[in-house]
Amino acid sequence: MNKLANVRVGFALFMLAVFAYGAYGVKDMVFGARIFPISVSAPGIILILIQLYREIRRSLNPGPEGTSNQERIIDVSSDTTSETSVIYSRGLRFLYWILGLYAGIYVIGFKLSIPFFFVLFMRVEGKAPWSVIALVTGVSLYIIYFHFQTLLGVYWPDCLLQQSGWIPIPWLFQ
């Protein structure tokens, strides 16, 4: 079984678990609350079992790594030309960047962590020159303050630094 086949079988099993829970999670509820989820989960379980059988059968007769066996879906297709391990390692790296940004937002706030994220991401991942970093960060901060905050009046997530009051945050970043 190649890695892509593993992903397909794994995803089908995940879907099976979702539909099984879809039926199980409402079993003790009144009829009115459970009829709709059961009506959705029951055909879901039947169809996913058929699909799982097809995925397993297909994984036992695999094409070359990364090929899709002439499958066509109406959606944006993924990159199937790169090595699967490269795709996953880069994907994981991007996930760490998002988690890092979340941590920054949680601790020091959205408006303060965004410029840090821009500088670090563009410098480390994109090897961007400082002039480009300054331009993109500057334009983004302008959008944050004058479009999102002033015109659209958006809300910002609370942060630990602001709640604790340990360090006074400059008014611009509050």
Which residues, numbered 111-130, are part of the site for another protein (CB under 8 A)? 114, 117-118, 121-122, 125-126, 128
Q: Does 167 bind another protein (CB under 8 A)?
A: no
CB-CB neighbours of 159 under 10 Å: 21
* Cα dihedral sign, 157-160-165-170: negative
For another protein, the closer CB: 115 or 168:
115
For another protein, the closer CB: 139 or 168:
139
Q: Does 96 bind another protein (CB under 8 A)?
A: no
Pick out residues in 4-33 that bind another protein (CB under 8 A).
4, 7-8, 10-12, 14-15, 18-19, 21-22, 25-26, 29-30, 32-33
Spatial distance between the Cα atoms of 17 and 98, rounded to a whole number of angstroms: 27
For another protein, the closer CB: 74 or 167:
74
What is the closest distance, in whole angstroms, from the C-beta atom of residue 139 to another protein in the complex? Answer: 8
Enter the DSSP assignment of 144. I
| Closest to 38 measured CA to CA, from 25, 48, 23, 21 | 23
Number of residues that bind another protein (CB under 8 A): 72
What is the closest distance, in whole angstroms, from the C-beta atom of residue 172 to another protein in the complex? Answer: 16
72-92 per-residue burial string, b: 16 or more CB within 10 A, e: under 16: eeeeeeeeeeeeeeebeeeee
